[in-house]
Amino acid sequence: MQALLRLGLFTSVLLVCIGMIRHARRPDSARLERVTLWLQRLTWTNGAVLLLWLFGLVRH
């Protein structure tokens, strides 16, 4: 379970980084708001999962 959580967290952080780089290179105004919202949601989800994972490690 820990390995799946780490893999999911790594994958989503990688997606956020790739999305930010692509967004910075080509800021298309039509897709700008949608991409920004997607990156923001994914970043908040990563933060929540990371906190839950850290609290789980502290408890053990």
Backbone torsion region of residue 38, taken as left when φ is above 0, otherwise alpha when ψ lies between -120 and 50, otherwise beta: alpha
What tokens were used for 15?
């997606």
Rounded CA-CA distance 53/51 in Å is 5
| Confidence grade of residue 29 (pLDDT, cut at 50, 70, 90) | low
Domain range summary for the chain, segments of one domain joined by +: 2-59
Question: What is the pTM (predicted TM-score) of this model?
Answer: 0.52
| Confidence grade of residue 21 (pLDDT, cut at 50, 70, 90) | confident
- Reported as a single tens digit per residue, the pLDDT across 32-51 is 777 777 778 888 887 887 78
Q: Say yes or no to pLDDT of 60 above 80.
A: no
Q: Which is higher by pLDDT, 3 or 1?
A: 3
Q: Mean pLDDT throughout 10-29?
A: 74
**Could you give the 3-state DSSP secondary structure of residue 31?**
helix
